[in-house]
């Protein structure tokens, strides 16, 4: 077995290789120093993958990392790999999981179709709609990233977890079992891409350290709104915890409302505090 990491996931790929005690193949991402003037991607495998089961690790965000993923998968197949497992820690385009309006593409499936050209199977993490994975053209499995957050939250001595919306209830349930805390959830209404509204609810958070647990933090609008509510109900400390930290737009300003922000390394950022390498390594061992 060999592990190959795309530019979005080099550190995580190395971490997975270390966990599996297997080889890591380096990749050159530039033909000339500074890369191509027009910004196009370049990849060259710097080691052999002939006859190997290759674990290709690459988050498909931002867009250029999708192109790079396809170049890598194609190069690995051409170099004689016998099996390719795509590990997509954060599945960019996963949130469009159905056709809301006529003429739209179901982008999560569009991506899967193209991944299936060179890859034999797919592992991804804390996916927006896990049922959709069953419709992908290759076997696809969701690995939970919540366990990594749960480990961290337990050591951070958090005493209450909160799901900001219905969708996050399954994440908070899992995290609370690991961190050994009580939990609750809110109902959220999305007004637009930047604004959300939460329904009034009395929460048992007075004097407590509360972590808001979500799959994704994007603009931080959800976190800012929920943090304001928690402060008004007497929470002592508020921690924002997510698996996938995108932190776009005004996210940094919005997150100032919190005492701490925790994200995993599915997307590398200054808030990355926990690695999901052990979770992926366990899932790869279980592949058979």
Which span (69-77, 79-87, 106-114, 219-227) binds ligand R5P, by CB under 6 A?
A: 219-227
113 flagged as catalytic:
no
Beta bridge partners of 168: none
Q: Which of 219, 227, 264, 266 binds ligand R5P (CB under 6 A)?
A: 219
Closest CA relative to residue 125, chosen from 23, 275, 1: 275
Distance CA 175, CA 214 (A): 10
Number of residues forming the site for ligand R5P (CB under 6 A): 14
Q: Taking contact as CB under 6 A, which single stretch among the options 29-37, 80-88, 110-118, 218-226 is the one that binds ligand R5P?
A: 218-226
How far apart, in Å, are the Cα atoms of 147 and each of 11, 179, 201, 235, 276? 19, 9, 27, 24, 9
Could you give the CA distance from residue 275 to residue 110 in angstroms, rounded to a whole number? 28
Residues with Cβ within 8 Å of residue 135, at least 6 apart in sequence: 109
120, 138 Cβ separation under 8 angstroms: yes
Q: How far is the CB of 166 from ligand R5P (least distance, A)?
A: 9
**Site for ligand R5P contains 222 (CB under 6 A):** yes
Question: Is 19 near ligand R5P (CB under 6 A)?
Answer: no
167 makes contact with ligand R5P (CB under 6 A)? yes
Q: How far is the CB of 254 from ligand R5P (least distance, A)?
A: 8
- Is residue 221 part of the contact set for ligand R5P (CB under 6 A)? yes
Give 85 or 126: the residue with its C-beta nearer to ligand R5P: 126
Which of 116, 216, 258, 267 lies at the binding interface for ligand R5P (CB under 6 A)?
216
| Interaction of residue 220 with ligand R5P, rule CB under 6 A | yes
Task: Determine phi and psi for 59, rounding to 5 degrees.
Answer: -75, 135
Give the up-direction half-sphere exposure of residue 151: CA atoms within 13 A in the CB hemisphere.
13
Among 118, 174, 215, 265, binds ligand R5P (CB under 6 A): 215
Residue 269 binding ligand R5P, by CB under 6 A: no
Rounded distance between C-alpha atoms, residue 163 and residue 173, angstroms: 9
Give the Cα separation of 4 and 30 in Å (integer): 16
Q: Is 273 helix (H, G, I), strand (E, B) or coil?
A: strand
Query: For residues 8 and 66, what is the distance between their CA atoms, to the nearest angstrom?
Result: 10
Q: Is 227 in the site for ligand R5P (CB under 6 A)?
A: no
Nearer to ligand R5P, 92 or 164 (CB): 164
Position 179 contacts ligand R5P (CB under 6 A): no
Q: Which of 2, 14, 98, 188 is catalytic?
A: 188
Annotated catalytic residues are 188
- Residues binding ligand R5P (CB under 6 A): 164-165, 167-168, 196, 214-222
């Amino acid at each position: 077995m060999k592990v190959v990491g795309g530019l979005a996931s080099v550190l995580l790929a190395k971490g997975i290789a270390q966990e599996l005690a297997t080889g890591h193949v380096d990749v050159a991402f530039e033909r000339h120093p500074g890369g191509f003037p027009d910004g196009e991607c370049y990849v060259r495998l710097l080691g052999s993958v002939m006859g190997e089961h290759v674990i290709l690790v690459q988050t498909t965000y931002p867009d250029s990392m999708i192109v790079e993923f396809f170049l890598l998968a194609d190069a690995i197949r051409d170099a004689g790999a016998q099996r390719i497992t795509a590990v997509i820690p954060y599945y960019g385009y996963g949130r469009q999981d159905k056709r809301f309006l006529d003429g739209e593409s179901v982008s999560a499936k569009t991506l899967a179709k193209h991944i299936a050209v060179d890859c034999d199977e797919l592992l991804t993490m804390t996916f927006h709609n896990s049922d959709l994975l069953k419709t992908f053209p290759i076997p696809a499995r969701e690995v939970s990233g919540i366990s990594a957050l749960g480990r961290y939250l337990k050591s951070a001595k958090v005493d209450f977890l909160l799901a900001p919306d219905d969708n996050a209830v399954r994440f908070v349930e899992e995290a609370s079992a690991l961190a050994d805390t009580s939990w609750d959830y809110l109902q959220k209404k999305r007004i637009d891409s930047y604004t959300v509204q939460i329904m009034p609810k009395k929460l048992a958070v007075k004097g407590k350290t509360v972590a808001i647990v979500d799959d994704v933090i994007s603009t931080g609008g959800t976190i800012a709104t929920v943090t304001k509510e928690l402060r008004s109900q007497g929470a002592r400390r508020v921690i924002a915890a997510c698996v996938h930290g995108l932190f776009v737009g005004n996210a940094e300003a919005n997150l100032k409302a919190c005492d701490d922000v925790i994200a995993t390394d599915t997307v590398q950022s200054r808030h990355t505090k926990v690695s999901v390498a052990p979770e992926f390594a366990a899932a790869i061992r279980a592949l058979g």
